[in-house]
A and B are shown apart, each in its own frame.
Chain A
Amino acid sequence: MSGPLLELSGLTVDIATEDGAPRTLLDGIDLTLARGEALGLVGESGSGKSMTVRAITRLLPAAARASGTIRFEGADVGAMDGSALRAYRDGGVGLVFQDPRAHINPTRRIGAFLIEALVRNRKVPRREALARAAAVLAEVGIDDPARRLRQYPHEISGGMLQRVMIASVLLAEPRLILADEPTTALDVTIQQEVVAILDRLRRERGMGMVFITHDLDLALAVCGRVAVMYAGRIVELRSADTLHERAAHPYTAGLLGSRPAIDRRAERLAAIPGRPVSAFESGQGCAFAPRCAHARPACEQRPPELTEFDGGLVRCARVTEIRPARPSKEASV
């Protein structure tokens, strides 16, 4: 099959509020993901990362209304009926949740959790499903899988449970993995391990991945391309290498600048002034303008478009002024 694995165009999500006025959470997201590609989705809380994933899996809250189109292997996800939707969720996408403890039924054994989809949806014999589950548990670095299969979720640690969750997604062998901050609830030391496992196994199986995180460095390390979101819009979408070298959007630059560095002493870390806003709070101009050091009065008047820049896309009216094009070679990536 050719064509992109996942294609979002003009994805907009509004949520109805009690006073009746709908609030925009996502505002015109355009994204494409090729087969086997890993895309990072980075942003602060409320920037719309998780909403994007929820829209892709059709898990939006009842009060939310989505418009625009989501295509998975060319099929319109929004138009899927019951059985098509179940098939899409069964083998098309797999979702790794942020908090495995809440997203796994606490009263069922881990074995039952892992094999349920295989046994019920794919009609794999129980015994074979258990063998496969044990094998995948071993792959995600859990020792003594046979014993773990008989344990309950509360009997194992959070890091291990997240690996169980990853194992459950791998067992379903989806074409696309959506990882919604898979490591946020974990220890820093465990984080690295879990991400490494996820990344390696995904590559081995040729699965595409949308990796959501608020850790820009993590996204840059795992993904080929990274989309930075702010207030329900994508403000910068570039390859990880060029983004890492030089951020184009002032917001991305601010994020990169606020990281601690191991080779640099700092009394205080640089911070972006102000607080993050949601899409419905932003005015008619650029949503980031009130916090931007480069803002001009014009920025507050007209919303900037996503424009080509340095081999990627950037949503900033002044990007060419503040980030002069680099000489020669890489300009045409």
Chain B
Amino acid sequence: MREKLRTTTGRLGLAGTASAVFLLVVLLIALAAPLLAPADPNRQSLLDAYTGPSAAHLLGADGIGRDILSRLMFGARTSLLGPALVVGVSLLVGIPLALLASWYGGWVDAVVARVFDLIYALPGLLLAVLTVALFGPGLTPAVAALSIAYVPFLARIVRAAARQQRVSPYVDALSVQGFGVLRISVGHVLRNIAPTVVGQAAIAFGYALLDLASLSYLGLAVQAPTPDWGVMVSDTDALLKGYWLPVIAPGVLIVLTVLALTVLGARISGEKPPRYLRRAKRTGDRRVPNTAPVGTPNQKETTVGAVG
């Protein structure tokens, strides 16, 4: 057990391990928010409005006296749930399409790849704004729109990695053993490219979090009383009155979470950490096993400068 932990941390590196630990802590806090939160996130006490950190409110209270720490804890739930749904749905749609395209090649592949390109050309946020315009604001339409927009972001990586596996001799050998598309694609190809997929999913999760926060900030996704990091950042009233903590605290959390997801994602998919993060002396073997990871490709520019 201890040895397994050590090889995992060795493979993720210092930055990757720190990111994983941070994300784990955020996730646990989100799950246990009702137990951990010092106060009801929606209880107002106008007497405490815009008080700084105190024993009663560790991170202070916002304009209507709600406990900021509690709101951050509960906000983690909505802020993580949205991206999880987006990434989940995108993977569910994207992986089968990508695997089929890479398996059959030819015109099947051409059609699927062009459809991906087409969706890829639409900015996710724009699609979300359009959906909200049609169906009204809320988390569901925003998540639905982003799920579609994120399909190519994930599926293109899966397709490229799967194509690489498709032409390796072991796939031929498996066909000759009498296995069909499903067994080879899921049991072997997908398994072998799993690090790439998981890594890319983590990065996509970060982008989705940012996109949803942007939409919530604009009032298009999560609606006001519900605690959400994006909603909290949009508290311009506090900023105008010179109270920065109610806005900065969720902002920092968004930045740190997205950063951690990106670092972890890159490490999982086998990308080397940037030079300045690498220790001078290599400790242990950091090579990932022979699963032919594809590098993280050009990242999508869906992050319109809406936050901050």
Contacts and interface: CB of A to CB of B under 8 A. Distances in A.
Closest 7 interchain pairs by CB? A90-B178, A103-B173, A89-B178, A102-B169, A86-B178, A95-B176, A103-B169
B180 interface: yes
19 contacts: A59-B175, A62-B105, A82-B180, A86-B178, A87-B178, A89-B176, A90-B177, A90-B178, A99-B169, A102-B168, A102-B169, A104-B173, A105-B170, A107-B289, A108-B188, A117-B177, A121-B177, A121-B179, A172-B178
Contact of A91 (B106, B178, B192): B178
B176 A93 contact: yes
A116 interface: yes
Interface in B170-197: 170, 172-180, 183, 187-188, 191-192
Interface of B: 105-106, 168-170, 172-180, 183, 187-188, 191-192, 289-291
Interface in A51-85: 57, 59, 62, 82
B181 to A, nearest CB: 9
Contacts of B105: 62
Given A62-B105, A105-B188, A107-B291, A116 B177 contact: yes
A106 interface: yes
A97 interface: yes
Given A86-B178, A87-B178, A89-B178, A120 B183 contact: yes
Given A117-B179, A120-B183, A95 B290 contact: no
B289 A103 contact: no
Contact of B179 (A57, A95, A104, A120): A120
Contacts of A103: 169-170, 172-173
Contacts of A104: 170, 173
A89 B180 CA distance: 11
A106 B174 contact: no
Given A86-B179, A116-B187, 19 more contacts: A57-B176, A59-B176, A86-B178, A86-B180, A89-B177, A90-B178, A91-B178, A99-B169, A102-B169, A103-B169, A103-B172, A104-B173, A105-B188, A105-B192, A116-B177, A117-B177, A121-B179, A154-B290, A168-B177
* Interface residue tally on A, bucketed by range: 20 to 34
A93 B169 CA distance: 18
A88 B191 CA distance: 26
Contacts of A107: 191-192, 289-291
Contact of B174 (A62, A87, A99, A105): A105
B10 to A, nearest CB: 18
Contact of A106 (B175, B179, B289): B289
A103 B176 CA distance: 11
A325 B33 CA distance: 96
Contacts of A59: 172, 175-176
Contacts of B176: 57, 59, 89, 93-95
Given A87-B178, A117-B179, A121-B178, A106 B173 contact: no
Interface in A109-145: 116-117, 120-121
Nearest to A89: B178
Contacts of B183: 120
Nearest to B290: A106
Nearest to B173: A103
A104 B168 CA distance: 10
Contacts of B179: 86, 116-117, 120-121
Given A62-B105, A105-B192, A117 B173 contact: no
B177 A97 contact: no
Contacts of A94: 176
Nearest to A122: B178
A170 to B, nearest CB: 13
Residue of A82, A99, A121 with highest tally of chain B CB at under 10 A: A121
A56 to B, nearest CB: 10
A103 B170 CA distance: 4
A87 B177 CA distance: 9
A194 to B, nearest CB: 17
Contacts of B173: 95, 97, 103-104
A174 to B, nearest CB: 10
A274 to B, nearest CB: 32
A85 B191 CA distance: 25
Residue of B105, B173, B175, B179 with highest tally of chain A CB at under 10 A: B173
A117 B169 CA distance: 17
B168 to A, nearest CB: 7
A108 to B, nearest CB: 8
A72 B170 CA distance: 24
A117 B173 CA distance: 12
Nearest to A92: B178
Contacts of A106: 170, 289-290
A87 B176 CA distance: 10
A254 B138 CA distance: 82
A172 B177 contact: yes
A58 to B, nearest CB: 9
Contacts of B191: 107-108
Nearest to B189: A105
Nearest to B180: A86
B177 to A, nearest CB: 5
Contacts of A121: 177-179
Nearest to A93: B176
A288 to B, nearest CB: 31
Contacts of A172: 177-178
